[in-house]
Amino acid sequence: MTEPEKNSFVAEPRLSARNGPIPAKILAADDDPHNLLALEEILQAPGCEVVLVRSGEEALRQILREDFAVILLDVQMPRMDGYEVAKFIRGRSRSTRVPIIFLTAYSKDELHVFRGYTAGAVDYVFKPIEPIILQSKVAVFVELYRKTEEIRRQSELERDLLLENLRVRGEKLAAEQALRRAQERQEAILRSLPVVLTSRATAPPFPPLFVSDNVERLTGFPP
């Protein structure tokens, strides 16, 4: 395998609508530990976490627990190969759109390539891996993931702001209705009293603000 070049993976972390970095997880599955170490070295980048597993079963367990920006699957793994894992990923609604890159030492035979795309792969990388090629392919999918996640978070933020605005408006309306009911009760009590009650403004020409309805009944004079 070609010696990986350092610091050439340039999928820079974006800031989310909540002003925090958008992390991106990359899943790499290969039964050869040496290949995994090489993949880890190639894929290290700011804001990216590389999750390494050595079997298809382990890959599925990770997929059930986490969301990934892109998944790299070795085609030739014992018990459950990359094709089977890819079919499971595509059959699950939460991961059906996650990009899958197959890693294979097979020749570029059309039959193998066709089988991979049928299983759900979006791309192939042939071994021995050229670090720059793999980095470039992964960087595209990581950037796409971050843009999509940024849009989703912005949408959530706008929804939260709308709900908060509706809540405040609802509380204000409820307070206004409660105040109006209290004023109506107070006026009803004042009208029922056997006394004449008036109130005037404190500034000239001192117009009446309130005169109880029973003033004419009790005094014989209109209000």
CB-facing half-sphere around the CA of 60: CA atoms within 13 A: 17
91: in domain: yes
134: in domain: yes
Instruction: Tell me what pLDDT residue 4 has.
Output: 45
Count of domains for the chain: 1
29: in domain: yes
- Digit-by-digit pLDDT tens for the chain (223 residues) are 444 444 455 555 555 545 556 889 999 999 999 999 999 999 998 899 999 999 999 999 999 999 999 999 999 898 898 999 999 999 998 999 999 999 988 666 667 777 887 887 889 898 889 999 999 999 999 999 999 999 888 888 888 888 888 888 888 888 888 888 888 887 777 667 655 555 656 667 767 656 666 555 555 555 5
Look up tokens 């792969």; give the residue.
Answer: 121
Host domain of residue 88: 24-156
33: in domain: yes
Instruction: Tell me what pLDDT residue 2 has.
Output: 44
Give the CATH number, domain containing residue 35: 3.40.50.2300
Instruction: Tell me what pLDDT residue 1 has.
Output: 44
User: Which residue blocks in the chain are alpha helix, DSSP H?
Assistant: 33-43, 56-65, 82-91, 110-119, 131-192, 215-219
Angle between helices 56-65 and 82-91 (to 10 degrees): 20
Instruction: Tell me what pLDDT residue 17 has.
Output: 46
Instruction: Tell me what pLDDT residue 105 has.
Output: 80
28: in domain: yes
Instruction: Tell me what pLDDT residue 140 has.
Output: 93
76: in domain: yes
Task: Extract long-range pairs of 140-146: CB within 8 Å, 24+ residues apart.
Answer: 141/69, 141/70, 141/99, 141/101, 142/11, 142/24, 142/26, 142/45, 142/48, 142/69, 142/70, 143/11, 144/69, 144/99, 145/24, 145/69, 145/70, 146/11, 146/13, 146/14, 146/22, 146/24, 146/69
**Pairwise CA distance, residues 223 & 177, whole Å:** 29
Sign (positive/negative) of CA torsion 176, 180, 183, 189? Answer: negative
- DSSP string over 85-147: HHHHHHHSTTTTTS-EEEEE-S---HHHHHHHHHHT-SEEEESSP-HHHHHHHHHHHHHHHHH
52: in domain: yes
pTM: 0.64
214: in domain: no
Instruction: Tell me what pLDDT residue 215 has.
Output: 56
